[in-house]
């Protein structure tokens, strides 16, 4: 088993009064140990739904209808409650989108840190406290802060505390669902640098979910781009960023400015995301695509290997057979 996590043909549906919306459609990807995989895409394309599915956090009306999520040879979707409890946080921890709100406002951060440790490990309160101080030091907060309440900390510090909680049990995989969206760029940079130091130190993998492509290009080893529930492009960060092949990825990259280089006119992507309840026949992106062909209206494209380690789901690109 070379891959830490393997997702095969995962489908997640939302059952609504108006019909069943498929928020994640046949997504397959894998994460190697120590790798950072970025998932990009616009709002509502299924990024967070995918992340939630990995630790099986979905509640009704969401439903993981098809596929498997294999972690270290074991299917997460087949685990019973006890296995699932062990799996969560021991093996995979999550940093949520609104990380600041995932701290309980009436409990001190020290207690919230030790809670995690004591729920999963048989240690005394004192040992847990020591570990909590250590964790706070790791993310750059002084150990004296253990007795503070969340409202006494700044946004960036709260974010660090949440990351410290995610690191508490030294998981193999950390899912980060837009962890820095609410922060300013300076703090964002600080936290990401720290995260990288920690990553080299502890060697965990990261599934990084964000709509910030430039950030993604810097920190991720591989990038997956999602559109309307489909994974449409997956490849090395440099490849996807430098030589995007799917029209949607091209549009995404063309819609934000570069810091260096000449000033250029920016082009956004026209139109709106498709309604998941009225998926058209053929490619999901056809209505917004500038280079639509006949085949795009008829057949749904699937991921094709175009280069070593670069997959694209589009009728316009040619599959390269031998690589």
Binding to other proteins by CB under 8 A, coded x per residue (else -) over 67-106, reads --------x-xx----------------------------
Question: Binding to other proteins by residue 20, rule CB under 8 A?
Answer: yes
**What residues contact residue 289 under an 8 Å CB cut-off, 6+ apart?**
247, 248, 283, 296
Distance in Å, CB of 56 to other proteins, minimum: 12
Question: Binding to other proteins by residue 60, rule CB under 8 A?
Answer: yes
Q: How many Cβ atoms sit within 10 Å of the Cβ of residue 244? A: 22
Choose the binding region for other proteins from 24-32, 60-68, 96-104, 134-142 (rule: CB under 8 A). Answer: 60-68
Chain centroid to Cα 79, Å, comes to 22
- The binder of other proteins chosen from 17, 105, 261, 262 (CB under 8 A): 17
- Measured distance CA(198)–CA(303) in Å, rounded: 33
Residue 228, judged by CB atoms within 10 A of its CB (0-12, 13-18, 19+), counts as: buried
- The binder of other proteins chosen from 32, 44, 56, 63 (CB under 8 A): 63
The token pair at 275 is 């309604």
Residue 315 main-chain phi, psi, to 5 deg: -75, -15
Distance in Å, CB of 159 to other proteins, minimum: 20
- The binder of other proteins chosen from 57, 61, 134, 291 (CB under 8 A): 61
- Measuring CA to CA, which residue among 35, 36, 5 is closest to residue 215? 36
Distance in Å, CB of 181 to other proteins, minimum: 17
Number of residues that bind other proteins (CB under 8 A): 14
Pick 61 or 290: Cβ nearer other proteins: 61
Distance in Å, CB of 72 to other proteins, minimum: 18
- Measured distance CA(70)–CA(256) in Å, rounded: 36
Distance in Å, CB of 78 to other proteins, minimum: 5
Pick 21 or 37: Cβ nearer other proteins: 21
CA angle 199, 10, 91 (to 5 degrees): 30
- Measured distance CA(209)–CA(22) in Å, rounded: 19
Question: Binding to other proteins by residue 6, rule CB under 8 A?
Answer: no
Pick 64 or 253: Cβ nearer other proteins: 64
Coil, helix or strand at residue 85: helix
Q: Which residues make up the interface to other proteins (CB under 8 A)? A: 13, 15-17, 20, 60-61, 63-66, 75, 77-78
């Amino acid at each position: 088993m070379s891959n830490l996590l393997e997702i095969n043909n995962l489908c997640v549906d939302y059952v609504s009064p108006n019909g069943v919306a498929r928020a994640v459609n046949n997504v397959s990807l894998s994460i190697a140990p120590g790798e950072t995989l970025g998932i990009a895409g616009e709002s509502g394309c299924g990024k967070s739904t995918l992340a939630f599915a990995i630790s099986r956090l979905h509640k009704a009306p969401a439903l993981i209808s098809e596929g498997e999520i294999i972690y270290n040879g074991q299917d997460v979707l087949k685990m019973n409650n006890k296995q699932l409890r062990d799996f969560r946080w021991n093996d995979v921890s999550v940093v949520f989108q609104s990380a600041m709100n995932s701290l309980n406002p009436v409990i001190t951060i020290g207690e919230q840190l030790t809670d995690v440790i004591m729920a999963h490990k048989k240690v005394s309160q004192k040992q847990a406290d020591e570990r909590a101080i250590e964790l706070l030091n790791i993310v750059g907060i002084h150990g004296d802060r253990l007795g503070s309440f969340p409202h006494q900390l700044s946004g960036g510090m709260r974010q660090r505390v949440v990351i410290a909680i995610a690191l508490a049990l030294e998981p193999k995989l950390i899912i980060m669902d837009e962890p820095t969206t609410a922060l300013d760029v300076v703090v964002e940079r600080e936290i990401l640098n720290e995260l990288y130091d920690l990553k080299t130190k502890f060697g965990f993998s990261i599934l990084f979910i964000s709509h910030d492509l430039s950030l993604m290009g810097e920190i991720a080893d591989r990038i997956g781009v999602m559109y309307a529930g489909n994974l449409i492009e997956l490849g090395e960060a440099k490849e996807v960023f430098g030589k995007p092949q799917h029209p949607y990825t091209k549009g995404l990259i063309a819609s934000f400015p570069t810091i260096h280089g000449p000033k250029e006119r920016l082009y956004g992507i026209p139109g709106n995301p498709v309604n998941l309840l009225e998926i058209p026949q053929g490619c999901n992106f056809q209505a917004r695509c500038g280079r639509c062909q006949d085949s795009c209206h008829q057949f749904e494209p699937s991921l094709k290997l175009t280069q070593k380690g670069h997959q694209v789901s589009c009728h316009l690109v040619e599959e390269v057979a031998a690589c």
